[in-house]
Structure 1
Amino acid sequence: MSRIQFPVELKGVGGFISAAEIKSGGGIANLPPWLGKAIALVDLDAFFASVEQLDHPEWKNKPVIVGGDKTRRGVVSTCSYEARAFGVHSAMPSAQAARLCPQAIWARGNHVRYQEMSTAVMMILADESPYLEQVSIDEAFIDISPGRFANEHPIVVANRIQKKVRELGISCSIGLGTSKSVAKIASDIDKPEGLTIVYPGCESDFLRPLPIRKLSGIGVKAEKQLHELGIRTLGQLAQTEQSVLVSVFGKNTELILSRCQGLESSEVIDEAITKSVSNEMTFSVNLVDISEIRQAVIMLCVKVGRRLRRKQLRGYTLTLKVRFDDLSVRTARKTLDHAVDDEQDFAPVICELIGEVWQAGQEVRLIGVGVSSFEARPEQLSLFTIPEQSICPGIESTSDQPNKSHKRSLVEATDKVKNRFGENAVRYGRDLHFFEIGSGTIALKDDCPTEQH
């Protein structure tokens, strides 16, 4: 269960708000409004080890060490919290870790699996805000400032993120503040599965008592130099004259001072160039009926269309991917004459691709839908004509211009409702079945140039 910490007493609240109050909904009304930027750092707890424990239930609550080999040279990549209790930590020589925790379970690691889980988590974040910056396989900044994308309170969003990650079978700790540096420090305060909030205006009080090594940009060498100057806390560092610190930080002195004073201004920047937007779902019960397969395709198309519009992308190439119960995979693609971002336009076409990859009687384990080959173009109201008796029941298409405009208005209105109240505020009745049989192991995905497609 998440533990919510307020580093300082909040004016107007009359004390601290407990995790139980927030999770029950009773504390939401008492939350002071969040004024200004809200940046969260989402850090997956003991990520590799947690995935190993997820995939090996018999390892749960046992010390697990990933990487290295207790019988050979090597270093620990990461370890579970149970192993950390014995003093084991990342980058420790394997031999030393084996001495400290001889009963530990050693896992070589499965980076394909770790990347799969990382992608699932990152797409949970992408569902909450398009302003996402992944900094490593297990960490990402996300801008959830009220009014920038949605109007929900950042603490509500952070709680929802933790809940969704927990549903994947792992956990995350979140730091929430007005800058990247504050969010990063806050994320390390309460682990595992902690949520530490630093309200706007509380940055200085939060940072003041912390040791200087907590601040990004201060390493072992700088720490030693600062200790020689009698500076041990961020509060002491914040009060030091800039001229005194130039010998330690050089051209970065001003940046370091702004960080330790809680005055840093930072932006969440997604530097990756999106090459495709896709969504996959793994089903806990294999699909064998064509109507269920079509419904699943439609639901995934709705998610992809939503993501395309949020990123202001329109694509020409449509892709359908199907994995069967024997783990074989088949893929079909079609390139259109016009770029699309509306599932009402591309869902019928992707449904037509089902016949190219699936035959009656085959059991479907996973379905994926994607749009790629992006180009920004002025909106064209009539992209192509689909017969009224569409192969894809549930998403009708027509060349009737007024009706087309009406449907586009409906899509935009639905987007606005979701922006304000969350992704689950509006659902199609046909999709409810898949919230029960879809495991969600692989979630919404943006493919970048460095990834294989």
Structure 2
Amino acid sequence: MDNPRHIIHMDLDSFFVSVERLKNSKLMGIPVIVGGGDRGVVAACSYEARKFGVRSAMPMRQARFLCPDATIISGDHEDYSKYSRLVTEVIASSVPLYEKASIDEFYADLTGMDRYFGTAMFCKELKTKIVKESGLPITYGLASNKLLGKVATNEVKPNGQIEVPLGTERAYLAPLAVEKMPMVGQKTATLLKDMGVSTIKILSEIPPEMLIRLLGKNGSTLSRRARGVDDTPVIPYIEQKSISTEDTFSCDTMDLDFLQSRLVRMIEKIGFELRHQKKMTGCVTLKLRYADFNTVTKQCRIAYTASDHTLLETAAALLRKLYDRRLLVRLLGVRFTDLVTGAHQISLFDDTQEMISLYQQIDSIKSQFGPLSLIRASGVDKPDKDRQRVKQRALQLQRAYKT
């Protein structure tokens, strides 16, 4: 290869749990599970919980059964997004080209940087910088392609680092179990093992034509990857195209007042996020899932705005049109799309300077004390955990202003 690539794969270790531990040091060293109620699934779990068999996407009831002593946390997606943006900013300011594969996973193309200083040394310094600025543990794998970087990262987690030297790709993959190869899910792994293919070395020795007959067009890609070949480029990070949130209720409901109060809370939550990112939306989409899992959506295009009262009016109208079956509702979701960058523009017909000033003051308070520090009264339903959090925020706010 005339110009060998240098690709680093970075993965924040048990990201949601690590963020929670930054907020509460008492969670260090104990089993922690981040997820919804009994009807939800595990969003993340600590390595201590994984020893009991707990895994991401596992039903919460099963996770509780496997690890009854685990500390359960519902999670705070605002905080997770905040820390993800912080790490993204550190990486963006340090590397020439990066790809954000998920909220906690990154690739960076460091090709050519070895001409000026050692790529391995740069990666160590980048990890140190991320840990210093975010407080979060991170693992990385440095290799000649994305495939090797990801596999290597998974092998040395948590809080590890590794370099797979150029020319050793096939030898590195050879002894690993076949299910550790990306693209090989549980079903494919079972199929291969039934054929006696237990390691990537054996997989790499199968003629490509045989894999194509067995797995279709994916067989060709899998054959190349088993030999350590991956030409997939690092795709430059593209800014998000939507802002959304959804709520799966602990109990199915057909209480319209309850649905409206949750809708208010959700609109205010992502409306604040919209303004925080200095964006406006031109389309509101509402999603409703009934107890029989039938899911319906409806959207409405609007003049670009970031004002809660306008978004609430649109969302409420969509809810009235969408909820046309007298059945129990399981889930409610809202999504803003057609996003544009820019501050809110005053409408000569709808807004006043006082209204714009009010939003500025509201957002200032929410930025200081959190999104729950101020919400509309119509967004507070009957006593629950969220209401208690609202009361706590209100008390903190009162004490802050007294001092």
Shorter-chain TM-score bucket reads 0.5 to 0.7
> Does the 8 Å contact 2:211/2:220 carry over to 1?
no
The residue matched to 2:42 in structure 1 has which SS? Answer: coil
The structure 1 segments of at least 4 consecutive aligned residues displaced by more than 3 Å after TM superposition are none
The residue matched to 1:41 in structure 2 has which SS? Answer: strand
Q: 1:94 to 1:274 in 2, by over 3 A?
A: closer
Q: 1:152 to 1:127 in 2, by over 3 A?
A: farther
**One-letter amino acid matched to 1:49:** V
Q: Out of 136, 155, 159, which is 2:124 matched to?
A: 159
Q: What is the rounded CA distance, in whole Å, between the counterparts of 2:63 and 2:188 in structure 1?
A: 29
Partner of 2:220: 254
Q: TM-score normalized by structure 1?
A: 0.51
Tell whether 2:60 aligns with 1:94: yes
Matched residues, number: 247
Partner of 1:49: 17
Partner of 1:127: 93
**Identity within the alignment, %:** 35
> Does the 8 Å contact 1:225/1:248 carry over to 2?
no
Partner of 1:232: 198
Q: Which runs of 5+ in 1 are unaligned?
A: 1-34, 276-331, 334-356, 358-363, 366-453
Q: What is the rounded CA distance, in whole Å, between the counterparts of 2:240 and 2:96 in structure 1?
A: 12
Q: What is the rounded CA distance, in whole Å, between the counterparts of 2:98 and 2:34 in structure 1?
A: 28
User: 1:133 deviation in Å?
Assistant: 0.7
User: 1:271 deviation in Å?
Assistant: 5.1
1:86-141 CA distance string (max 9 Å, x none): 32221222222222322221111111110110111112111221311111101011
**One-letter amino acid matched to 2:46:** S
Q: 1:26-425 to 2 correspondence within 5 Å?
A: 36-69=4-37, 72-147=38-113, 151-167=116-132, 168-270=134-236, 272=238
**One-letter amino acid matched to 1:156:** M
Q: What is the rounded CA distance, in whole Å, between the counterparts of 2:44 and 2:89 in structure 1?
A: 24
The residue matched to 2:231 in structure 1 has which SS? Answer: coil
> Does the 8 Å contact 1:146/1:153 carry over to 2?
no
User: 1:58 deviation in Å?
Assistant: 2.2
**One-letter amino acid matched to 2:127:** Q
C-alpha RMSD over aligned residues:
2.8
1:234-274 CA distance string (max 9 Å, x none): 11111111121112321122221111101222211115169
> Does the 8 Å contact 2:98/2:237 carry over to 1?
no
**One-letter amino acid matched to 1:233:** T
Q: 1:273 to 1:89 in 2, by over 3 A?
A: closer
Greater shift, 188-197 or 90-99, is seen at: 90-99
> Does the 8 Å contact 1:38/1:179 carry over to 2?
yes
The residue matched to 1:189 in structure 2 has which SS? Answer: helix
Q: 1:151 to 1:274 in 2, by over 3 A?
A: farther
More helix by share: 2
The residue matched to 1:77 in structure 2 has which SS? Answer: strand
Q: What is the rounded CA distance, in whole Å, between the counterparts of 1:229 and 1:244 in structure 2?
A: 12
Q: 1:245 to 1:274 in 2, by over 3 A?
A: closer
Q: What is the rounded CA distance, in whole Å, between the counterparts of 2:138 and 2:167 in structure 1?
A: 25
Q: What is the rounded CA distance, in whole Å, between the counterparts of 1:126 and 1:236 in structure 2?
A: 39
1:313-367 CA distance string (max 9 Å, x none): xxxxxxxxxxxxxxxxxxx98xxxxxxxxxxxxxxxxxxxxxxx9xxxxxx98xx
The residue matched to 2:11 in structure 1 has which SS? Answer: strand
1:58-94 CA distance string (max 9 Å, x none): 222222110123xx32221111122223322212222
